[in-house]
Amino acid sequence: MTPTDRLLPVNEAIDRLEAQIRESRQRGEFTDPLIVGIHTGGVWVADALHRALGCTEPLGRLNITFYRDDFHTLGLHPQVSPSDLSVDVDGRDIILVDDVLFTGRTVRAAMNELFDYGRPRCIALAVLYQRDGRELPICADWAGQEVALGPDEQIHVDGPEPITARLVSSKES
């Protein structure tokens, strides 16, 4: 996928994601995955994928607030809705879903939390947008779009229905 400085519309990015995951499943990978979204944008995307892929088991929701490594500098988020993983994750193939992959710290925290629920067989990462700026050696297995952004740019994802995304520049605000 070629890096681009323009954002693909969310529905197109989800279609691309879905196609990539279906391809993997046709190769025999992730035949019976558990889909887990990271609160909040990741849950919206996970929900769309969950419906598109026709998964029957309930969608998992992770709120990584209690696992963040910046708690001592940023504090506790005022709205902490509990994580919800009603299905046993032991030995399962998990598709972890987030809206934007940036530094990689959120995904690290989510994996830490997942392992407190049990020991999955494997975890794959699906993100709507994969941008530059990684601070940890983490990359997505499937991305709706790869985006190169300037140092002042951010992607804002809104939802839940419809999910929308826009580029925001701190220079403008």
Partner 1 sequence: MAVNFVRPKIPKFAPDPWAIQFDEQGHLRHLLTIEGLGPQWITRILDTAEGFVSVTDREIKKVPLLRGRTVVNLFFESSTRTRTTFELAAKRLSADVLNLNLATSATKKGESLLDTLRNIEAMQADMFVVRHEQSGAAHFIARHVAPHVSVLNAGDGWHSHPTQALLDAFTIRRHKGDFTPLRVAIVGDIRHSRVARSQMHVLNSLNVGELRVIAPRTLIPTDVEKLGVRVFHDMREGLRDVDVIIMLRLQRERMESGLLPSEEEFYRLYGLTEEKLAWAKDDAIVMHPGPANRGVEIESSVADGPQSVILEQVSNGIGVRMAVMSLCMSANRGENA
How does DSSP assign 41-59, residue by residue?
HHHHHHHHHHHHTT--SPP
Measured from the CB of residue 134, what is the shortest distance to partner 1 in angstroms? 22
24 versus 65: smaller Cβ distance to partner 1: 65
Nearer CB in complex with partner 1: 118/159: 118
Distance CA 38, CA 46 (A): 8
Nearer to partner 1, 20 or 40 (CB): 40
Cα–Cα dist 51/140, whole Å: 21
Q: Which is nearer to partner 1, 61 or 131 (CB)?
A: 61
Closest CB 27 distance from partner 1, rounded Å: 32
Minimum CB separation from partner 1 for residue 66, in Å? 4
The footprint of partner 1 (CB under 8 A) covers 63, 65-67, 71-76, 78-84, 112-113, 116-118
| Smallest gap from residue 65 Cβ to partner 1 (A) | 7
CB 111 to partner 1: min, Å:
13
What gap in Å lies between CA 56 and CA 34, rounded to an integer? 9
By beta-carbon proximity to partner 1, the closer residue of 6 and 72 is 72
User: Cα(101)–Cα(105) distance, rounded to whole angstroms?
Assistant: 9
